[in-house]
Structure 1
Amino acid sequence: MSSPVFRPPLRVFALLILVVSSLHWLMLKTTPTRITPPVPMHSAQTFTTRSIVVERPAEPAPIQPTIQPPTKAPVAVSVKALASPTKAKRPEPQPSTVAAIDPVPVLEPISANPDESLTAQSLAQAASEPVPPEPTAVAAKVPSPPPALPMPAGPAPTSISAVRLPGSAKLEYKMTGQSKGLNYFADAELNWFNSDGQYQASMMVSALFVGSRSMSSVGKINANGLAPTRFADKSRTEVAAHFLPEQGKVSFSANTPDVLWMQGAQDRVSVFLQLAGILAAGADGKGTRFAPGSSITVYTVGPRDADSWTFNIGQTEQQSLPAGDMSTIRLTRLPGRTYDKKVEIWFAPGMDYLPVRSRITQTNGDYVDQQLEKLIRP
């Protein structure tokens, strides 16, 4: 039979628990709460807030406008924060200090109108540049007048006191000639018309197998007789001379140099009718009477140049022409230069001093002789 186990009564357990609890409470009461020594009150850290002010970056200088041809499409570049040269050791967090950081400043947006920045830049640049000196006034250069045209060679034109021009008429001529030893025949026609201070004159020559050639003159009639305004000479092409008395010159369509215009100037058609008027006025006693042996000089214009033609007055001659026998006065122009032609003209006093015959002789002996065949009055 086993021996009985001793069990303390419950009262003893309760008393033991009460004693242990009391001892534990007493130890906590008498033992310090911190293992480390207590911190003095004056050295205790306080909670503070600190602000860091970031300086506003200076405004960038105005960008100079430059115009460059586009090269490549722009590439997006990411901007990274610059790292400090030496990486600082991360400090231990301080429980008693908190740093307050202001936000990163934002740059002002670029003006939507680029002209504003350009205008400001231009004004600043203009203000810094030196002011150029004012330009010196230069007097306008007045063009110098064209040089005076030279006087024609030869004797001066004869002064004419009066002219009596013949009435309008048509003269038909028979023409004979010789060229390089060959004889030829042709017809010629002189048409003369004057009325109300205007005149027209034309000479036409036509020959079989040769063709035709014409010369014409138009102009005005004044106290000095005929005043041509245009002379034309036409064979295959036409060349002309233009009389410009207001400019004091005669110009040519052949682009040859201008020549001097002179009072009483004639052309190679009007000159024969002007001579007729001079002789008629002298015979009437209203003008200068030119006796045999005297001369008349007329400034005569051709299709490319001008020259003084001097005619010597001869004796009265009787001519037998296809139109009949008649009394005439012969005027002769002798060649003054090597290649000049000898010109002879017979004027008939009974026909208002109209030219009834003319003969032109070349220096080599070739000639052309035209004689009046018919006179037609309008």
Structure 2
Amino acid sequence: MRPTAGVPVRPLAVLALVVIALHALALWMAPGAAPPTLRAAPWQWRTIEPQRPSAPATGDTAQPQPQAATPPAALRQQPAPAVSQRAAPSEPARSAADAVRPSQSASTTPQGSEPSATAEAATPLAGPIALPAPALWRYAVTAHYRGRLVTGEAQLAWRHDGHAYEAVLQVSAPPLPLRIQRSTGTIGPEGLEPLRFSERLRGERAAHFDRERGRIVFSGNDPDVALQPGAQDRLGVLLQLAARVAADPARFAPGTTVVLQVATAREAADWRFRVAGLEPLALPAGPVTALKLVRAPRHEWDPWIEAWLVPGGDYGPARLRLTAPNGDWLDLQKSGTDKG
């Protein structure tokens, strides 16, 4: 038998490799087969807490300087800018200023109004007194109210026995509501020492002078305040000033400022009366020359108060004028006096 002719070896080897490769590819693409896993490096998250810098020294006004561009790794190591820490010290300063001038800014203070309460402390108006004799003072009332001129009448009943006193002011000028103010208290070496002040407009509110605790307490929800020496209420203060002026007129030269604590039915504050000097008045009761005192507003909602006291043995109020911030005004001018 003749042997079969030989087959070339290289083509057979190449064919074998191709067959093996095709089988391997078929196995990899089979449904149950899993593809090779590519493992990616996981993300690394880090939260870097910024270092809280210490509070800057007082007076430090240096501004943060712009930073040059730095690689991300360097930025993660920088502490947070200290802007909020620099701003923090200014907050207490604003709060202190607000405590001195609650709800009041310089722009809202009328020209010529009273200085801040911190500029001058309230002081008692010490000295001799000469209280007016008990009387009923009657007044003619004119008012500018909501664009119209109205008229009416008022009376101030003043009673005392040298130990206790009562003052009642009634103002009637329709369509304005009836206003009644009442001040009661005792009389001491320095004059009037009020115990209660009330005001009735559409309802009644009152201030109580608790001298044992040294407080002025209000009937509403208004906070009480410390009672200062020589404190008065808004009605009795006119009679207290009249008693001081009658006892020693020389102390009330033009330009003099009288400072004392005055309570309304809602609050108590330092009132400053400036002595404007003597002025001639043509009153319904007749012409007189009276000493004028002016109380400028402390807040934008306060009225201007002008009071005229007649020199002589009867320093009762001869005229009283109140001007509201909106321009409305109320003017009381003496029309007569009933003694006793």
Specify whether residues 211 and 159 from structure 1 end up closer, same or farther in structure 2 by C-alpha distance, changes over 3 A only: closer
Q: Distance in 2 between matches of 1:258 and 1:354?
A: 31
Specify whether residues 247 and 158 from structure 1 end up closer, same or farther in structure 2 by C-alpha distance, changes over 3 A only: closer
Letter in 2 for 1:345: A
CA deviations 1:111-136 (Å, max 9, x no partner) are xxxxxxxxxxxxxxxxxxxxxxxxxx
Using the TM superposition, give the Cα deviation of residue 210 of structure 1 relative to its aligned residue in structure 2, in angstroms. 3.8
Name which of 180, 183, 189 aligns with 2:146: 180
Task: Tell me if the contact between 2:167 and 2:182 (Cα under 8 Å) persists in the aligned partners.
Answer: yes
Specify whether residues 248 and 372 from structure 1 end up closer, same or farther in structure 2 by C-alpha distance, changes over 3 A only: same
Q: Distance in 1 between matches of 2:330 and 2:313?
A: 23
Name which of 370, 373, 378 aligns with 2:332: 370
Aligned partner of 2:227 in structure 1 is 261
Task: Tell me if the contact between 1:276 and 1:353 (Cα under 8 Å) persists in the aligned partners.
Answer: yes
Q: Which entry has the higher C-alpha Rg, 1 or 2?
A: 1
Specify whether residues 294 and 306 from structure 1 end up closer, same or farther in structure 2 by C-alpha distance, changes over 3 A only: same
Question: Is the partner of 1:275 in helix, strand or coil?
Answer: helix
Are 1:161 and 2:139 matched, yes or no? Answer: no
Name which of 268, 277, 285 aligns with 1:306: 268
Using the TM superposition, give the Cα deviation of residue 235 of structure 1 relative to its aligned residue in structure 2, in angstroms. 2.0
Task: Tell me if the contact between 1:157 and 1:308 (Cα under 8 Å) persists in the aligned partners.
Answer: no
Aligned partner of 1:336 in structure 2 is 298
Task: Tell me if the contact between 2:215 and 2:226 (Cα under 8 Å) persists in the aligned partners.
Answer: yes
Aligned partner of 1:43 in structure 2 is none
Unaligned 5+ runs, structure 2? 1-98, 101-115
TM-score w.r.t. length of structure 2: 0.63
- For residues 135-154 of structure 1, the aligned pairs below 5 Å read 153-154=117-118
Q: Distance in 1 between matches of 2:186 and 2:268?
A: 20
Using the TM superposition, give the Cα deviation of residue 318 of structure 1 relative to its aligned residue in structure 2, in angstroms. 1.0
Q: How many residues align?
A: 225
Aligned partner of 1:359 in structure 2 is 321
Aligned partner of 2:167 in structure 1 is 201
> 4+ runs of 1 displaced by more than 4 Å?
none
TM-score w.r.t. length of structure 1: 0.57
Letter in 1 for 2:257: S
Aligned partner of 1:87 in structure 2 is none
Task: Tell me if the contact between 2:246 and 2:313 (Cα under 8 Å) persists in the aligned partners.
Answer: no
Question: Is the partner of 1:202 in helix, strand or coil?
Answer: strand
Using the TM superposition, give the Cα deviation of residue 351 of structure 1 relative to its aligned residue in structure 2, in angstroms. 5.0
Task: Tell me if the contact between 1:166 and 1:354 (Cα under 8 Å) persists in the aligned partners.
Answer: yes
Task: Tell me if the contact between 1:232 and 1:239 (Cα under 8 Å) persists in the aligned partners.
Answer: yes
Specify whether residues 311 and 273 from structure 1 end up closer, same or farther in structure 2 by C-alpha distance, changes over 3 A only: same
Name which of 245, 250, 261 aligns with 2:211: 245
Using the TM superposition, give the Cα deviation of residue 245 of structure 1 relative to its aligned residue in structure 2, in angstroms. 1.1
Using the TM superposition, give the Cα deviation of residue 307 of structure 1 relative to its aligned residue in structure 2, in angstroms. 1.1
Are 1:230 and 2:215 matched, yes or no? Answer: no
CA deviations 1:299-353 (Å, max 9, x no partner) are 1001011111101001211111000001100001112322221110000013521
Question: Is the partner of 1:278 in helix, strand or coil?
Answer: helix
Q: Percent identity?
A: 37
Aligned partner of 1:325 in structure 2 is 287
Task: Tell me if the contact between 1:229 and 1:244 (Cα under 8 Å) persists in the aligned partners.
Answer: yes
Specify whether residues 301 and 158 from structure 1 end up closer, same or farther in structure 2 by C-alpha distance, changes over 3 A only: same
Task: Please tell me the root mean square deviation across aligned C-alpha atoms, in Å.
Answer: 1.8
Using the TM superposition, give the Cα deviation of residue 358 of structure 1 relative to its aligned residue in structure 2, in angstroms. 0.8
Task: Tell me if the contact between 2:141 and 2:173 (Cα under 8 Å) persists in the aligned partners.
Answer: no
Using the TM superposition, give the Cα deviation of residue 160 of structure 1 relative to its aligned residue in structure 2, in angstroms. 1.1
Question: Is the partner of 2:243 in helix, strand or coil?
Answer: helix
Q: Distance in 1 between matches of 2:129 and 2:313?
A: 16
Question: Is the partner of 1:272 in helix, strand or coil?
Answer: helix
Question: Is the partner of 1:280 in helix, strand or coil?
Answer: helix
Q: Highest relative contact order (Cα 8 Å, sep 6+), 1 or 2?
A: 2
Using the TM superposition, give the Cα deviation of residue 186 of structure 1 relative to its aligned residue in structure 2, in angstroms. 1.5
